[in-house]
Amino acid sequence: MEAVFLIQPWIQAHTAADCCKLCYQERDNRSHVECKRAHLAAYNSLLGVLKLERGSTFEETFKRLEEAKEKCLSTATPDDHCHTTSLEALKFALENYDKILEDYKKRLPGRTSPAPGM
């Protein structure tokens, strides 16, 4: 069960990064607004999880993502600087969750998978 709470923000960070890239590509099209809605939802979900966490790493991640959200998601048409800022904040979040997941994997007892049934 603990793994779910570790994987969920990792997936949300990946989703937000994907939305960021897609929104940047669609910034001159009509579908940009819909893309920004999805991007905002992914950001808000990740920020909600980070708000509950304790520790300087989570606080720094939250701060970076909040700044990127305020600067970039509120602009009508994102520029290169906003796009870079947002991706760097999300990369920072992913790196932190990658470390947490690696530590979690090391703590798991050695498991062998059952032989597949024929």
In this prediction, residue 113 has a pLDDT band, given cuts at 50, 70 and 90, of: low
pTM for this prediction: 0.76
Provide the phi-psi class of 117: left if phi over 0, else alpha when psi is between -120 and 50, else beta: beta
Q: Which residue has the higher pLDDT, 12 or 27?
A: 12
The domains of the chain, with CATH numbers, are 2-107 (1.20.120)
In this prediction, residue 114 has a pLDDT band, given cuts at 50, 70 and 90, of: low
pLDDT of residue 60: 93
For residues 89 and 64, the answer to whether their CB atoms sit within 8 Å is yes
Q: Does pLDDT of 66 surpass 70?
A: yes
pLDDT of residue 44: 87
- Dist CA 86 CA 116 (whole Å): 44
